[in-house]
Amino acid sequence: YKSITFYGASKISGMIKPTLESHIIELNIKPKESYSNKIQNNVKIEFLKFLRENTPFKKVNDLKKAINSDLNKAKHYFNLKSK
């Protein structure tokens, strides 16, 4: 699926752990209950383009703006790639 994946770090139980958060672009996915084990257990992430450094945000609104910008850049990238 065409998607955008954010790579960062999360503090869990006093330890910093790497995290991945993916957003599938323009695709309606059924609720998790209907996923097959095949889909859940066979996920591959391939990084095609780097958009920006991971940045801490002081305001949630700034984070939302950055995510929107990232999603627009990813959509633009996939539109160019499919032509």
Paired tokens of 72: 């627009």
Region for 38 from its dihedrals, namely left if φ exceeds 0, alpha if ψ lies in -120 to 50, beta otherwise: alpha
Q: Tell me if 15 sits within 8 A of 22, measured CB to CB.
A: no
- C-alpha atoms less than 13 angstroms from C-alpha of 58 in its C-beta half-sphere: 0
Q: For residue range 22-79, list pLDDT tens digits in order.
A: 777 766 666 565 555 555 556 677 788 888 887 888 999 998 999 889 888 888 888 8
Please state whether the predicted TM-score (pTM) of the whole model is above 0.95.
no
Query: Nearest Cα to 1, choosing from 23, 24, 22?
Result: 24
Q: CA-to-CA distance for 34 and 46, rounded, in angstroms?
A: 25
